[in-house]
Structure 1
């Protein structure tokens, strides 16, 4: 699908028809969403540029993600997608500045694009050109990334509260194991965010050296502001990653404590029942000359000895605080 946005903020869908070879002068943004090869060829015929394919977007070489060709600027960044769900992903998106137009090529629907399109009509008409739209779009992407980090902080804080509060209460054995799955989910999300911020930082560094941006004071200042925001978000993401790593270590430690408590119970039980077993073993021997065998009170005395040999160690362990 090809959506075109004019300088007035209105949107229309372009169709790759052979008869349509002209592009209105007021079109400042062309957004290609999961374009077909026919749609790629159509946009290439309109603008005279090479539109990156899905395979081109996956190339990790900096020279293939950030370059200038025939006065057109080609940039590729990785953005977080599905951050609100259980399976966050990274999607590669191409940003192209060709003349006075911005062209984006994407195969996903990041929420930042939806937010930017929703607020497109509120932008000043004087600033609606490709370079300014790109700077504003990158600002929206940074804001959306900050929102993702804030939501993750709240979730990690709630998870920390669940793990450490009410430690005295009995909880199901699988409780901490389930929390490990949540920790892994948040760690994966933060890893995706950090990768995205790294690609955005490289894109902004490259973009600020492009004459089309550096010669416009307003766009240059906005890009520099977004670059500083991306740097601060990267530091914040590293801090959150540290907290998640602490939760992981703490959860594994608590699991070990619970396992050790179970082993301790079995160990103490074996020690408590060892003396009664010794007494029973002694009087279970079938030697002919055993004086106690002729006692009338031998049986109750043996039972009493076994009970006392179990009770005394139990209370001794309680007194020592081992139970």
Structure 2
């Protein structure tokens, strides 16, 4: 689908089955969403430049993501997608400056695009060039990334409060409670990791954008890019801080799991200390040797019971006195 936005605030869907020879003069932004071959061919004909394919967007080399060719400025940025789901993803979006127009190619629906397009329709005539429009779009994307991080921090704080509780509350936890929380920690780490990847990509893109002559000549676009670059830097530092907190939460959870497992092992150790000596006494008097004088005693049975009791109590008290239990 090809959606065109105009300076006067209009938006229209361009049908590739009805090809046109040229765009309207006030067309400022063409947003290609999951374009097919016919739609790509139409846009290439209208702008006279080649469009990157979906496979091209997956390249990770900076020279393949940021370059100038045939009079067009090509940039590829990685954006967080499905941030509210359990499996957030990264989607690559192409940003192309061709003359005074902006072309975007995407195969996902990041929320930042919906927010920006809605705001664009409410404020007709606000943007004059594609560079200025791109700077505002990047600002919206960065703001959306900040919202994703804020939501992630809130969920991490809530998770931390459920992990670090007093001993009485910890005893009322269901079995394998902390093991289940490890999956939540992994999900939060995935979200923050995707956000950091997106910020790194956007930082490179903004730095490249600011180096372009057409952007340096556009004062409004230059100032906006500077603001976006500062915001990206601040968010990157905040994301690193959040990532460190998640690492601490993960280490602490694993430590608490080890403590609980050690407590279980301690119970088995106490049971071994208590029952092993009586078992030894019972094993001795359970032998079938003919010459065992205790078998002839009248009080032999009681003697064996007392011996088993003392052999259990004395080691237990000794270990308690030493502080080993």
TM-score of the superposition, structure 1-length normalised? 0.94
Secondary structure at 1:85 match in 2: coil
Distance 1:33 1:250 in 2: 44
TM-aligned CA deviation for residue 262 of structure 1 = 1.7
Map of 1:53 onto structure 2: 53
Structure 1 residues 80 and 114, CA gap change in structure 2 (3 angstroms): same
Secondary structure at 1:44 match in 2: helix
Structure 1's consecutive aligned runs of 4 or more residues displaced over 6 angstroms after TM superposition are none
TM-aligned CA deviation for residue 112 of structure 1 = 0.7
Deviates more, 1:32-41 or 1:212-221: 212-221
Superposed counterparts of 1:1-323, under 5 Å: 1-123=1-123, 125-167=125-167, 168-317=170-319
Q: Map Cα deviations across residues 194-234 of structure 1 (whole Å, 9 max, x no partner).
A: 11111100000000011111112221111011001111111
Distance 2:2 2:259 in 1: 58
Structure 1 residues 174 and 7, CA gap change in structure 2 (3 angstroms): same
TM-aligned CA deviation for residue 56 of structure 1 = 1.3
Task: Note if contact 1:89-1:192 (Cα within 8 Å) is conserved in structure 2.
Answer: yes
Deviates more, 1:172-181 or 1:222-231: 172-181
TM-aligned CA deviation for residue 22 of structure 1 = 2.5
Distance 1:36 1:19 in 2: 14
Distance 1:285 1:37 in 2: 89
Distance 1:27 1:209 in 2: 25
Task: Note if contact 2:7-2:124 (Cα within 8 Å) is conserved in structure 1.
Answer: no
Q: Map Cα deviations across residues 128-177 of structure 1 (whole Å, 9 max, x no partner).
A: 43111101000000000000111111111111111121444143332122
The number of residues matched between the two structures is 323
TM-aligned CA deviation for residue 58 of structure 1 = 1.1
TM-aligned CA deviation for residue 31 of structure 1 = 0.2
Secondary structure at 1:273 match in 2: helix
Secondary structure at 1:125 match in 2: coil
Please, what is the CA RMSD of the aligned residues? 1.9
Structure 1 residues 251 and 281, CA gap change in structure 2 (3 angstroms): same
Task: Note if contact 1:7-1:129 (Cα within 8 Å) is conserved in structure 2.
Answer: no
Q: Which runs of 5+ in 1 are unaligned?
A: none
TM-aligned CA deviation for residue 287 of structure 1 = 4.1
Distance 2:230 2:323 in 1: 55
Structure 1 residues 308 and 141, CA gap change in structure 2 (3 angstroms): same
Structure 1 residues 289 and 7, CA gap change in structure 2 (3 angstroms): same
TM-score of the superposition, structure 2-length normalised? 0.93
Secondary structure at 2:171 match in 1: coil
Structure 1 residues 10 and 124, CA gap change in structure 2 (3 angstroms): closer
Task: Note if contact 1:31-1:105 (Cα within 8 Å) is conserved in structure 2.
Answer: yes
Distance 2:313 2:149 in 1: 56
